[in-house]
Each structure stands twice: as structure tokens, then as C-alpha cells.
Amino acid sequence: MKKSNGKRNIVITAIILTFIIFFNQIPANADVTDNLQNSIAIILGHVDDTLGTSFEQSTTNGKLNQMKKVVDTLDTSMDQMISPYVGSLTLWVDSNSGTYAGQTVTVTNAKGQNQTGQFVARNGHYEVDFPSLLKGSYTIAYPYVASSKILNLTTSVTLNGSAKRQQLFGDLQQMTMADIQAACKAGVINQLASVGDTFSGGTNYTYTIIGIDQDKPSDTNGNLLPSNSYGNVLTVMPLGAPAGKGNNQPVATNAYATPYATSHGSPTERINVSDISNAGWASSHMRSVIMASCYNKLPEATKNVIGSVQKITGTYFDGNQTTGDKVFLLSGKEVFGGYGYGSGSYCFSTEASATFQYQYFSNIATSIDSRKNITNVNIWWLRSPSCDGNPRFCYVLNGESGVGNEGMEYGVLPAFCIY
């Protein structure tokens, strides 16, 4: 009987202990103040305890809180140390085409290490984020949707340790005029295009790049715009050349395929209809009437992206003139690179010293034969007055520099700038 009572006591004790453990509390009457909760508190301390007089004598929570404080300080210090070297990159395409959803973008550093991400619809277009990239140069491999076809393209980006956003564009031959202007505004057109390339921009005409970042945007009076108000400046001539990469070769032009052509080919015009040469380019019939006509013959998509640039032109008696032009003729220096007799152009030295030679003519169309290839007409006007006497202006004759009376009718090959 005693053994049975002993077993029963053990069972009762076990049940009580189980109850205590389950409810984390020892039953107590009014005379008992200790319980398991208080015992744990004595060991661990309160959640917000801080370090006591010494680490060893502090509660467990005090020690843990101190360790967390040290780790947080270390994290902050590490962040401050690496922040100049680690940045984020957001890439985006200006499209709401669902084809981009989930498409993979890869960024690769100079060592060949890469990260991948996927496009997601956000902010009215498609974006992909790379939140942690070390400072340096990266190659970006990305898909670009053009006419329902996905092009696999690459471009580059340089990170300096801060956050950066970069728009992705298509191949130059797939871009619209608005796309090309957007690339200029973003300052990346030189990653997509080269001097000598020819594109259509989705219009019925083609445009050959003769210079990148050479002309300076201005108002209509020739006053320069602030340099931080624009990105790249693309100078082009509608020469009727086939669209495609230039590959550092002179383009094969076709004056019959230019906006200013007629059924008889590229028309001929006078610089002036009367002897007003002393006023030079600024007040010439060519600038006020013919250039306006050239502009009006361009497609609307092209006119929408053209901006005025500062042009400096010589005069016979008063040095140089400064104008702001949307459409203009080239100068002697801009084509031939020199001035005066036997130096490649008959323009004045004052004019030549104030302007530049376009990259297309300094690096690609450098010979007489290559400049012959620029049009189907033998002679085309330049805007420069001739240094050999009034009233004569410079022109290009079979690839060489020449001069002619302002009342003569020669070919018209204008240029304009996109920015």
C-alpha cells in the first residue's frame, strides 16, 4: 500500500512540474514571492539592460545589448569605409511593351564577374536594379525590342560609388528621331553612334553624322546656352547616303534623295539676289530664305529634334559675325581645315581661327576624291565670304576649294544639329 502511495506521489509531482513548465510559473500563495519568471529575470536581466560595472558581472541581456551596440558601430564604420566604392545602378527602357517583363539584363565588370537582373514594370516603363556594385566600369548586355523583334545589345557604364540611373537605347538604325534626341540628352549618343554613320530615324530621308559635340547650342541670336542644359550635340547632313555604319569610309551620297532635291536633282541657289555681301552670311538671301526652305522640307519628326547652334562667319570689313542657326551651310574651315590661298579654303583667317573642322572631313573625307563623293552636283556653296575679294563666297568644286560670285547659282547642302 505504501509503495502504491509512493508511485502515486511521484505521478502527482510529475503532473505539477509539467504544469509549471507549460505555464512557465510556479504556483505560489500570498507568502511566496519567487517563481520561475523571476528566476529567469535574475539570470537574463531585463530586455533593455545595459552593461554594468564590468562585463562579467552584467546580466546576459546587458552583455548582448553591449555586443549589439559594438556590432552596429562596426557596421556603420564599415558602411562609411566602403560607401565611396559601392554604388547602385538602375537601368531602364522608355517602353511599356510587355515583352520586356522578366527579360534578363547582365552587368559584367572588367574581371569578367557578372550580376543579372530582370526587367519589371515600374514608373511607366521597365526597370532593373543592381543595388550593390563596386566602383568601376561595366559592360551591360540587355534586350531591346524593335518592331516586335528582340535585339541583344551591349553598352557600357562607369560607376563612381553613388547611385546612378541610365536609360538603355536600341541600335542606331532601329531608333526614331525622338530616341536619338533622347540619347543626346542623356549624353550617351557617342556610345551608340560614330562620325560617318548614316541613319534614317524612321523618316524617308537619311542623315550622315559629320560631328559629335563640336557645335555649341545657342538661342536664335547665337548666345550660347548653359553647358548643363544639354548633353551630346549631333551634327548631321542629309546627303541621301544609304543608312548604315560608316566604318571610317566616306559615304556614297545621292543628292537626288535629299529633302531639298527636285525632279532635276539638288537645286542650285544664289547666296544673294542682290549685292549685299558686306552684310555677309547673317543677312544673306541664302540664310534668310533658302535655309528656311530647307528646314520646312524636312519631316516633322526631324524638325522636332533640331536646335539652334552658334555659327561664326567672317565678313569683308567687320571681322566675324555670330548667328544662331537651326539649318546652315558649312564654312571653309569646317570642310577644309585651313584658310587663305593654297591652304585648303579661301575663307578669312579671322573666321578660321574662331571655328573648327568637322570630324568627318578631318578624319574620313580627307582627300579630294572623297569630297567629290559628297554630292551629284559639281559645285556646292559654303557660307564663308572669300578672302580674295567682294562679292565672292567660298564653295566646293569637285572636292577642292573655290570661290564664286554671290549671284551665281550652285548646289545647296545644308547641315543641322540634334541635341
Q: Which tens digit of pLDDT belongs to each residue from 4-49?
A: 555 555 445 545 444 444 444 444 444 444 455 555 666 666 777 7
Mean pLDDT of the 131-151 span: 90
- Give the single-character DSSP code of 241: P
* Element of type H or E holding 235: strand 234-237
Same domain, 291 and 390: yes
Is pLDDT larger for residue 29 or for residue 395?
395
Residue 114 and residue 147 share a domain: yes
Domain annotation covers residue 322: yes
Does residue 371 belong to any structural domain of this protein? yes
pLDDT confidence of residue 45: 66
Whether 102 shows a pLDDT value over 60: the answer reads yes
Same-domain pairing of 253 and 346: yes
Set of cell numbers at residue 116: 543579372
More confident residue, 82 or 310: 310
Ranges 18-27, 213-222, 385-394, most confident: 213-222
Q: Is residue 414 part of a domain?
A: yes
Q: What pLDDT does 117 receive?
A: 98
Q: What is the DSSP annotation of 187-215?
A: T-HHHH--TT-EE-TTSSS-EEEEEES-S
Same domain, 236 and 187: no
Please report the pLDDT score of residue 271 as a whole number. Answer: 85
pLDDT value, residue 28 = 43
CATH for 181: 2.60.40.10
**Mean pLDDT, rounded, of the chain:** 85
Q: How many domains would you assign to the chain?
A: 3
Domain-terminating residue out of 59, 81, 103: 81
Cell of 142: 540587355
137: confidence class by pLDDT, cuts 50, 70, 90: very high
Is the predicted pLDDT of residue 248 greater than 90, yes or no? yes
**Structural domain contains residue 75:** yes
Query: Last residue of some domain: 51, 81, 111?
Result: 81
Full residue range of the structural domain in which residue 123 is found? 85-191
In the prediction, which pLDDT does 177 show? 95
Residue with the larger pLDDT of the pair 261 and 342: 261
User: 256-267, pLDDT tens digit by residue?
Assistant: 889 887 544 557
Query: pLDDT tens for residues 47-94?
Result: 777 777 777 777 777 777 777 777 776 666 655 565 566 899 999 999
- Between 274 and 46, name the one with better pLDDT: 46
Give this prediction's pTM. Answer: 0.72
Question: What span, in angstroms and rounded, lies between the C-alpha atoms of 114 and 130?
Answer: 11
pLDDT at res. 80: 58
Same domain, 70 and 170: no
pLDDT, residue 298, reads 96
Q: Is 284 inside any structural domain? A: yes
Burial of 101 (0-12, 13-18, 19+ CB in 10 A): exposed
Pairing mode, strands 86-93 and 164-167: parallel
More confident residue, 129 or 15: 129
Supply the pLDDT for residue 124.
Answer: 93
In a domain, 211, yes or no: no
Range of lowest pLDDT (125-134, 299-308, 323-332, 400-409) = 400-409
297 shares a domain with 374:
yes
pLDDT (0 to 100) of residue 335: 96
Residues 389 and 295 in one domain: yes
Kindly state whether residues 11 and 120 are assigned to the same domain. Answer: no
Domain boundary pick from 58, 81, 104: 81
- Predicted local confidence at residue 21, as pLDDT: 43
- Answer yes or no: is 243 within a domain: yes
Stretch 140-146: mean pLDDT: 92
Same domain, 67 and 92: no
Report the range of poorest mean pLDDT among 109-118, 146-155, 232-241. Answer: 146-155
The reported pLDDT for the residue numbered 330 is: 97
Whether 269 and 353 share a structural domain: yes
Residue 130 has pLDDT above 60, yes or no: yes
Q: Is residue 357 situated within a structural domain?
A: yes
The mean per-residue pLDDT over the stretch 142-148 comes to 85
38 and 69 in one domain? yes
Look at residue 366 and tell me whether its pLDDT is greater than 80: yes
C-alpha closest to that of 222 among 320, 348, 360, 330: 320
Please compute the mean of the pLDDT values over residues 265-282 and round it to a whole number.
Answer: 70
Angle at 384 between CA 380 and CA 389, to 5 degrees: 105
Query: Do 303 and 381 have their domain in common?
Result: yes
